[in-house]
Structure formats: C-alpha cells, structure tokens
Amino acid sequence: MLLAALAAASATALIAPAAAIAAPGTADATATVVPAAPEAAVPPARTTDPAGTKTEWPETLGLPKAWAERVIQRDRPDLEIVHVPEGALVTMEYNEKRVRIVHNAFGLVTQVPAVG
C-alpha cells in the first residue's frame, strides 16, 4: 500500500513539470512549475595554498601511479614522491616536501595525492 502511494506520488511529480514544459503557451491551472535547484552554495575544494602553489592533485584519482607521478612532477618538480600501497602503515609526520601516492593492487591511484 505504501509503495503504491510512493510510486503514484513520484509519477505525479515527474509528469507535472513535463506537462508544464511541453506546452508553454497552454499551461493549465493544475500544472505547477518546479523552480530550478539553486547552485551549490559550497565552494569547490582548494587545491592550492594561499601563495598559489599547487598542493593537491584530485585529477589523478583513478590514473596509473606512474602517470600520477608525472603530473605531480610537472606541477611541482621540487617534491619527493613516495608510492604507498593501499592499506600500508605510514608515519603521521607532516613533510612539506613530500607527496604520497596511494595506489591499489592494480597500480591505480585511490586517494587524492596531497603535500604532507
């Protein structure tokens, strides 16, 4: 019973905006126009430090680790790159001259490489 009510409500919600859009000059009184969703209020994640130096490489997610290393070296040749298998134990100290590339058994990057 509940599933039937939910299905009917979702079908009505999907059909009503389409009916209002389908005939722009002849919208009837029962059709309602749903306003567009507001743009995301959350700003995108910052990948640079305040000086403009790149500190994260989200574009390397899913790439082979060698390609990710080349991308990072192209942007910041001053950094030491360390390859870390997924699940391996690592020390917790912060090193501003190091980037860890965490990869799975297939050699694909699984975490966003970041300075530290």
Mean pLDDT score across all residues of the chain: 79
Residue 17: phi and psi, rounded to 5, are: -65, -35
pLDDT on residue 85: 97
- C-alpha pair distances (Å), 47 with each of 14, 59, 66: 38, 10, 21
pLDDT on residue 51: 82
Domain boundaries, the chain: 1-42, 50-116
C-beta of residue 115 within 8 angstroms of C-beta of residue 99: yes
Superfamily of domain 50-116: Trypsin Inhibitor V, subunit A (3.30.10.10)
Taking only the tens place, the pLDDT of each residue in 15-48 is 544 444 555 555 555 656 665 555 556 666 677 8
Taking only the tens place, the pLDDT of each residue in 56-76 is 999 999 999 999 999 999 999
